[in-house]
Structure 1
Amino acid sequence: MIRLDNIGKQNGHQILFIEASAVLLKGEKIGLVGPNGAGKTTLFRMITGQDEPDEGQVSVDRGLTIGYFNQDVGEMAGRSAAAEVMDGAGPVSEVAAELKELEHAMADPDRADDMDDIIARYGEVQHRFEELDGYALEGRAREVLAGLGFSDEMMDGDVGKLSGGWKMRVALARILLMRPDVMLLDEPSNHLDLESLIWLESFLKGFEGALMMTSHDREFMNRIVSKIVEIDGGALTTYSGNYEFYEEQRALAEKQQQAQFERQQAMLAKEIKFIERFKARASHAAQVQSRVKKLEKIERVEPPRRRQSVAFDFPQAPRSGEDVVALKNVDKGYGSKRIYDGLDFMVRRRERWCVMGVNGAGKSTLLKLVAGATEPDAGTVTIGGSVKMGYFAQHAMDLLDGERTVFESLEDAFPHAGQGALRTLAGCFGFSGDDVEKRCRVLSGGEKARLVMAKMLFDPPNFLVLDEPTNHLDMATKEMLIAALSNYEGTMLFVSHDRHFLAALSNRLLELTADGIHQYGGGYSEYVARTGHEAPGLRS
């Protein structure tokens, strides 16, 4: 279907691909992985013809339909979300538009002379519309939007009034409704809540076409793909299996390559030692010459490329009292909508609560109440003795001073810290080399999230309140964060839609549902085992 043969590609001074090859076959589901900036988006753009390789060839079968979703959704306004989605449904939307034009023409008295031709054409177009299952189009569009979390009101409202995250969902729905031969999805799991993520997972598992996607959600990737294509050092390497299998195979291959490299280095050292020892002796001249020639012919084994992964060690947080926060008889609402009515909730030292509930259930509101970012309408929120709180909220990224560089931002926060310590901190959170000199206003969402987190964790609080901390983080940063938080001695209250993060870090779970609030003592894994589902909105 799609072949990349010996492609080469350079962006400015950066070489992305060198004689790289890969293939996407009919019905295959491939995960595309590689560090940030490795060329994943460039690869998608070359497949869609938006970009050309400098060398080699990208071959796409004739007549193949490709649906490409990326993070740049463009302008959307003036139509309902449902209409916007239907407009992207490929040939059927074009046929629907012609059908509508012909209906207007039939009602136009000025075109009475052409009526026979118009009616004949209308019959042809209507037949084609039926062949394409056009009359079911709106129902299918609404089904996809509902799966991605849209209410009926949002489907019928002006798409221009939606936030950027919801517009992304509209753009994704267009591709899903289109049912192309091949879907190219660049981070489709971004901006989705857990219920929508699980619905999308199910949709893509049932999709009969070919799929190539990137995602920073390892569980999502694991359950959908059966092949991994890795971009690393300009090469494309294909692994059969899901993401977990790929990680195991890559680690094994690196271990074998390292052992092979070490064996060869030992052999070379031995040969060189012999040559150095006997090169001045005429009696050994033939042997020395023979070994020199042998060394020249040996193909050198390269050591495995070391991936930059820096571990972040928490300094020890000061100990808090046993009762960290207590909410008693708390009421909270916005306008006529009641969020909490008489809520009682207690967090104790070293508990790690994850909070779950469908959109609008009050997850972020609970975190804001605990952090003091909003006040209860009634009842009390009491923070315990010796509690030092760190609160990560999405809006925290908007509070960074755009004119300060990453390093200056860290220096402002920690004026007494040494430069070396701050550079190490920056490196742990993915800012290496010249990245520390970037101004905050040019940072991506992921970079801002990493900087805010670095500032929060350098001098660690003993109570972390985290609202979607993994939203913009890549897999490597998530793994670093999970490893760091696993060793964290303090208390946590957090919201996340990343199942790997939830399972790794929670030991308590608070579920907010329409029929009340439920607590589970063993964290996310116990919740899944006891309820039989992975999110509250999937309760049957």
Structure 2
Amino acid sequence: MTIMKIRGIQKSFNEQQILQNAEMDIKHNSRFGLVGNNGAGKTTLANIIYGSITPDKGMIDTFNNNMNIGYLKQSTEYSIHELENPFSLAENGLFELSSHLGLNKDVDWVDPDWEKLSGGEKLKISLASIWASRPELLILDEPTNHLDLQGVEWLIDEIKTFKGAVIIISHDRYFLDRTVTEIIEIEDGTTNLFHGNYTAYRKEKEKLYEIQLHQYGIQQKHKQQIEQQMANLKNWSEKAHRDSTKQEGYKEYYRMKAKKMDNQIKSKMKRLNQELEKNEVKPPKEEAAVRFEFQDSRKRGKRILEARDLSKFFGSRCLFEKSHFYMNHGESMALLGTNGSGKTTLIKILLGEDTPSSGEVWVSETVRIGYLSQDVSDLPPDKTALEYTGLTDRESIGRARTIFANIGLHEEKLTVPISYLSLGERTRIKLVMMLLDEIDLLILDEPTNHLDLASRESLEKTLMDFQGSILVVSHDVYFIEKISEKLLLIDNGKISRKEFGMKEFNNQKSSPNLSSKKKEEQLMVVQNEINAIVGRLSFMNKDESGYEELDNVLAELLKKKRELI
């Protein structure tokens, strides 16, 4: 059953048209993913559907005029005062929902200390309150920003069982793949419908691109053939005109011949224009190319940081204690832990902005650290992007302009105050500041928040080629699966280093655990094999035939041993 019809929606801001023709039919059980580049109009359309913005043209027809719409906005600046009476919501399971989301802190609902809550905790309370209000239509704008993996999995399960329609604006490919069955793409102000999840949408887009490119190629070849024919006729016509003025007795013949050819040219031109007007195939639109290019990292010593017996307490509350870990040059690590486990606090300790309660952290003096925080509200709102760089010499400003252009911030965005820019554009400004420096260690706190899909994929490729070290906190499962080779896991008050990445971590979680006895047996077998190979290698020289092959086998066995441990 269709609960809402949207037709011919148009919306402009300051003479810039954002939406030209937005259309969609929302059914009772619809699961839409709303995608498009930053600034395409996704949030504008969401606000129009919600009723907080009025369209310039078009209509929205709802089956129920009193439809309850729950709208989670794209912001960390949620306010407890925007929530309905929490006690009435409690009857609908607000506190239970908050618990499912992993919000274990005691919240004073009558007079909450809202400022002390993190962005993730505010989002969880807002999300839980929206859910508890029992909406018929849910609009979720970047709902996984600031959610930990536990919260994301809970939200995926809830959306699957939700008895109503859902519209999700998200750049989280993993989340979209797990939750939506249709994609609405906004491109050039117009909506296009694709059936399937995000991966199916990308495949269909690529197929349509190839088809259009092929048809465009055929059309261009046909056009060139007609134009070549017209060029030949034109040459013959010009020759006939010249001959008609030279050869006595044949002037009329050549004049008629030239006129006939002129008519043929006009006829072919008319047919070509009619054909193009009726069946013209335009060249397929190239996706915006986004390039992140970090400076080559300078070579450093092997170990760049190490923590010994690290502990952090806030009053009687323990985040982590007696933890030891290290990081080597060139390693890519993902920092995992639930909201409130201490990820942001650990980053502050590594940056020297906070001190541990006990223990110590050693960071190499020669390491240059670049830090991207998830908060984009700390940028000066009145400054322009160029002013914020602080650059004054012509050469550096020129390089900065090039980098800005490479990541999709063109000249018109560089000369307006930062307050006029979207959250995604502000994130890009922060990335540019890091790109301008020669960085050895990148510490990235939710780097894909507010970045569109093309930018996320470009950032992935760049980080995979980055020669320095990376420590990343992210809820984007696809992103950290590609980036991470090692993990730092905060669990049960301990920080531990894991010798595998996110993919292996997820595989371990999804596969049944081996019994302790079976693990011990396998470990014994692997250790015996290691001992045998070490013994053989001790009698061989490095340049001897077979040494390298045995050395590789040993490396695999050591890796297997670490996994078993």
**TM-score interval for Structure 1 and Structure 2 normalised by the shorter chain:** 0.7 to 0.9
RMSD over aligned Cα atoms: 2.8
The one-letter code of the counterpart of 1:408 is E
Please tell me whether residue 381 in structure 1 is matched to residue 361 in structure 2: yes
State the match for 1:404 in structure 2: 383
State the match for 1:290 in structure 2: 267
Change over 3 Å in CA distance of 1:467–1:66 after alignment to 2: same
Structure 2 counterpart of 1:393, from 370, 373, 383? 373
Unaligned runs of 5+ in 2: 238-257, 512-565
Contact 2:322 2:494 in 1 (8 A): no
Give distance in 2, aligned partners of 1:44 and 1:404. 29
SS state at 2:322 partner: strand
SS state at 1:369 partner: helix
Give distance in 2, aligned partners of 1:76 and 1:376. 31
User: TM-score scaled to structure 2, two decimals?
Assistant: 0.78
Give distance in 2, aligned partners of 1:441 and 1:27. 38
State the match for 1:195 in structure 2: 150
Change over 3 Å in CA distance of 1:52–1:472 after alignment to 2: closer
Structure 2 counterpart of 1:185, from 128, 137, 140? 140
State the match for 2:12 in structure 1: 10
Give distance in 1, aligned partners of 2:364 and 2:118. 38
State the match for 1:218 in structure 2: 173
| Structural mapping, 1:36-51, within 5 Å | 36-51=38-53
State the match for 1:468 in structure 2: 446
The one-letter code of the counterpart of 1:527 is F
State the match for 1:142 in structure 2: 95
Please tell me whether residue 479 in structure 1 is matched to residue 457 in structure 2: yes
State the match for 1:459 in structure 2: 437
Change over 3 Å in CA distance of 1:415–1:527 after alignment to 2: farther
Contact 2:423 2:450 in 1 (8 A): yes
Give distance in 2, aligned partners of 1:182 and 1:514. 38
Give distance in 1, aligned partners of 2:506 and 2:146. 23
Aligned-pair CA distance for 1:226: 0.5
Change over 3 Å in CA distance of 1:446–1:38 after alignment to 2: closer
SS state at 1:420 partner: helix
Deviation readout 1:255-286 (Å, 9 max, x if unpaired): 22122222212211221222232142345345
Give distance in 2, aligned partners of 1:482 and 1:439. 29
Contact 1:77 1:160 in 2 (8 A): no
Change over 3 Å in CA distance of 1:164–1:42 after alignment to 2: farther
State the match for 1:104 in structure 2: none
Structure 1 counterpart of 2:316, from 336, 345, 370? 336
SS state at 1:511 partner: strand
- Name the count of aligned residue pairs: 481
Aligned-pair CA distance for 1:211: 1.2
Deviation readout 1:376-420 (Å, 9 max, x if unpaired): 33333222364222223346x56544443201222x258574433
| Structural mapping, 1:75-474, within 5 Å | 76=79, 84-85=85-86, 87=88, 138=91, 140-151=93-104, 153-154=106-107, 156=109, 158-159=111-112, 161-162=114-115, 163=117, 165=119, 166-279=121-234, 280=237, 281-285=258-262, 287-298=264-275, 299=278, 300-384=280-364, 386-394=366-374, 397=376, 400-410=379-389, 412=390, 415=393, 417-474=395-452
Aligned-pair CA distance for 1:325: 0.7
SS state at 1:69 partner: strand
Identity of aligned residues (%): 30
State the match for 1:501 in structure 2: 479
Please tell me whether residue 523 in structure 1 is matched to residue 509 in structure 2: no
Aligned-pair CA distance for 1:363: 1.6
Change over 3 Å in CA distance of 1:252–1:160 after alignment to 2: same
Contact 2:139 2:168 in 1 (8 A): yes
SS state at 1:314 partner: coil
Contact 1:350 1:489 in 2 (8 A): yes
Deviation readout 1:42-83 (Å, 9 max, x if unpaired): 32233334444434432211356241314278985579x7x7
**Greater Cα offset, 362-371 or 6-15:** 6-15
Contact 2:38 2:424 in 1 (8 A): no
State the match for 1:60 in structure 2: 62
Contact 1:40 1:231 in 2 (8 A): yes
**Greater Cα offset, 12-21 or 427-436:** 12-21
| Structural mapping, 1:20-39, within 5 Å | 20-39=22-41
**Greater Cα offset, 496-505 or 148-157:** 148-157
Structure with max Cα Rg: 2
Deviation readout 1:89-124 (Å, 9 max, x if unpaired): 6xxxxxxxxxxxxxxxxxxxxxxxxxxxxxxxxxxx
Change over 3 Å in CA distance of 1:417–1:197 after alignment to 2: farther
The one-letter code of the counterpart of 1:456 is M
Change over 3 Å in CA distance of 1:151–1:333 after alignment to 2: closer
Aligned-pair CA distance for 1:241: 0.6
User: TM-score scaled to structure 1, two decimals?
Assistant: 0.81
Give distance in 2, aligned partners of 1:377 and 1:38. 47
